[in-house]
């Protein structure tokens, strides 16, 4: 779908706001669901927002609650006064504040790119609270070519007169990532990534200052991410990789699978960084992940699980 009507939006989710410890007002889309089931928290990529998870959230709710989080500086979350707070550890701390605000004990995390890094950090910050995880096209090691590509565009202003112009610009820069996409797909992506400003222009829906710490060496993933990944060893983990990815290599995905006793790797053919999670093979894998997480939640830590 190319966009979301206001009527559809009103029916699908509630707006949830909370405050960070440094005074930033943060936002998530709260899709209601069965409180007896583990909730799912979705974390987007570096320049993205909750709209990326609209299709997935609507598939999973109302069977379970889904929170599509917007990190500080994105979407309807506030912009930080200090741009050096735009780092993974701060995002993870913001999520910890959300867990306390929403009264969430255990949850399944779904993280794309930066969101996957935040997921790994959360496993260390909140032992036992991450009941399962999906790491979408990201791992403890990030390919240099992909980092160079991202550094080449993040934080650069982009403005268009129409949605079609924005869609065409996205296609020009990302045709090798999604080679089979059609015009409607690029329009849908544009409406997830951009917003209409007060001047009637189509602009990026994030604080351009998020690029400031990201451009510093070592800021993209944080310290010892293999150690962070190890904190997920006791829960089911689904690693999704785009076959054309320049961020997560096949070798790193295989090493991740070897390090995760309850891990599974699904490779999405014909897609780069990152899969949308709307691919049929991913649908089935997500259902397996959630079923295994629920089984683990019932048996408890350290007990046999299916």
Mean of per-residue pLDDT scores for the chain: 92
Phi/psi for 109 (5° steps) reads -100, 135
Per domain, the residue ranges of the chain are: 6-155+210-299
Antiparallel, parallel or unpaired: β 130-136 and 14-19: unpaired
CATH of domain 6-155+210-299: 3.40.50.1820
What integer pLDDT is reported at residue 30 of this predicted model? 98
Helices of type H across the chain: 6-12, 54-60, 88-102, 114-125, 144-153, 163-174, 183-193, 211-214, 225-230, 250-259, 280-299
What integer pLDDT is reported at residue 300 of this predicted model? 54
pTM: 0.93
Neighbours of 213 (CB within 10 A): 18
Q: Give the model confidence (pLDDT) of 3-43 as tens digits.
A: 454 444 456 999 999 999 999 999 999 999 999 999 999 99
Q: Give the model confidence (pLDDT) of 67-115 as tens digits.
A: 999 999 999 999 999 999 999 999 999 999 999 999 999 999 999 999 9
């Amino acid at each position: 779908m190319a966009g979301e009507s206001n009527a559809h939006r009103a029916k699908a989710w509630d707006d949830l706001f909370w405050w960070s410890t440094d005074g930033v007002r943060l936002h998530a889309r709260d899709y209601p669901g069965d409180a007896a089931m583990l909730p799912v928290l979705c974390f987007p990529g570096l320049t993205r927002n909750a709209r990326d998870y609209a299709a997935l959230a609507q598939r999973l709710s109302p069977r379970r609650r889904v929170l599509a989080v917007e990190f500080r500086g994105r979407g309807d979350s506030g912009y930080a006064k200090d741009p050096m707070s735009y780092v993974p550890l701060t995002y993870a701390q913001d999520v910890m504040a959300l867990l306390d605000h929403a009264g969430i004990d255990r949850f399944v995390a779904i993280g794309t790119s930066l969101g996957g890094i935040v997921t790994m950090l959360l496993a260390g910050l909140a032992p036992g609270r991450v009941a399962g995880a999906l790491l979408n096209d990201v791992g403890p090691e990030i390919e240099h070519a992909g980092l160079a590509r991202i550094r080449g565009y993040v934080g650069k202003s982009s403005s268009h007169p129409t949605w079609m112009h924005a869609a065409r610009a996205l296609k020009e820069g990302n045709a090798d990532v999604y080679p089979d996409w059609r015009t409607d797909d690029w329009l849908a992506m544009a409406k997830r990534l951009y917003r209409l400003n007060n001047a009637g222009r189509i602009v990026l829906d994030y604080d351009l200052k998020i690029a400031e710490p990201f451009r510093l060496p070592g800021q993209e993933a944080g310290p010892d991410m293999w150690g962070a990944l190890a904190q997920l060893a006791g829960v089911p983990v689904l690693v999704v990789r785009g076959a054309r990815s320049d961020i997560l290599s096949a070798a790193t995905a295989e090493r991740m699978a070897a390090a995760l006793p309850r891990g599974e790797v699904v490779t999405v053919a014909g897609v780069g960084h990152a899969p949308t999670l709307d691919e049929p093979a991913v649908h089935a894998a997500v259902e397996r992940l959630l079923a295994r997480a629920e089984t683990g939640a019932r048996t408890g830590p350290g007990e046999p699980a299916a």
